[in-house]
Amino acid sequence: MGSRAHLIVGGYPVGSSAGHDMDYARIQLLEKLYAGGYQTTVANDFEDIEARLQGTDFLVSYVAGPFPDASQCEAIDQWLAAGGRWFALHGSTGGKAARVEGSRRRKMVRLAHHDALGAFFLNHPPLSKFEVAVQEDHPITDGLPATFETADELYLIEPIGASRTLLTTELERDPSPDGFGFAYDEDTSVGDDGKTRVLGLERQVGDGAVVYIALGHCHNPSTNAQPVVDESLAATGETPRTFRGSWETPEFNRILDNAVGWGQAQA
C-alpha cells in the first residue's frame, strides 16, 4: 500500500473562497500528491481531523479561515510526535479575526493552531513582487537557487517558539495603505536587523515536523478580493483579474515537489 495523505483546502464558512481560487489550489496540490504516489483524502476544514489522521503519513493544508481548535491541535501534535509530517501553506497561519473596537478593521487572534504551526499571521501588504532568500539546506529547499523573485502576498509572520528558518525576505516596514488589511499592535514579524521577515520555517515535534511556507496566493475573477496591488506588480495599481503568482514559478513548484518527497521520508 502506498503513502497516504490528507489534503485540506477551503475558506470560511464552508464553501467560501475567502478571496482565493480554492479549486485551482486544490487541483494543483492533488496533482502533485497523485504524481508522488499518495492515496489522498480531501476535506474543506479540520472538522474530522483526528479520524482522518489515522493511518495518514502526510497532512497538507491550504486554507483561509478554517483552523484546528485546541483539542484538534492536540490530536495533530500527537500524530506529529509519532512521525507525521504537516506541510502548511499560505493562509494556514491565519484563522480568526476580531473587530477592533471603534474601527471597521479586524485584528488576528492568536490561537492554539499558531503554536502548533510555530507561526502567526499579522497582515500582508498589497500584492507585490519581492525577492525570497533560501536560508537552510533542507529537503524542502533542495535544488532552489540562493534567491528567487516571486509575485505574491508578502505575509508578515511572527515565528513562535523554536523553529528552523527556511525562507526569508527583506522589508523594513509594512507599506500597506491606511486601513488596508488587518490591524496589529506591534510588528512582531521583523527580525532584530529591522528588515528580515520569515516566509518559511520548520518546527520539529517528536519524530515528526511541521513545515510552513507563506507563499501561494491565487485568485480568479470571481474570487478576487484584492482592492489594490503594489506598483512593482502593476504600475496602474489595478489588480490582475486572474492571479497565480508563485504557483507559476519553477521555484515554488520545486518546493511543492520537494514537500511531496519530504512527506514520505518517514512513511
Judged by average pLDDT, the poorest of 100-109, 199-208, 244-253 is: 100-109
Residue 15, pLDDT score: 87
Residue 104, pLDDT score: 87
Say which residue the cell 504557483 belongs to.
247
Provide long-range contacts, Cβ within 8 A and 24+ apart, for 28-34: 28/247, 28/256, 29/60, 29/62, 29/256, 32/256, 32/257, 32/259, 32/260, 33/5, 33/7, 33/58, 33/60, 33/260
pLDDT tens per residue, range 48-77: 999 999 999 999 999 999 999 999 999 999
Distance CA 237, CA 13 (A): 30
First to last CA, the chain: 11
Check pLDDT > 70 for residue 1. Answer: no
The topology (CATH level 3) of 4-263 is Rossmann fold (3.40.50)
Residue 170, pLDDT score: 98
Q: pLDDT averaged over the chain?
A: 96
Check pLDDT > 90 for residue 223. Answer: yes
Say which residue the cell 492515496 belongs to.
39
pLDDT tens per residue, range 141-182: 999 999 999 999 999 999 999 999 999 999 999 999 998 999
Check pLDDT > 90 for residue 235. Answer: no
| Domain range annotation of the chain | 4-263
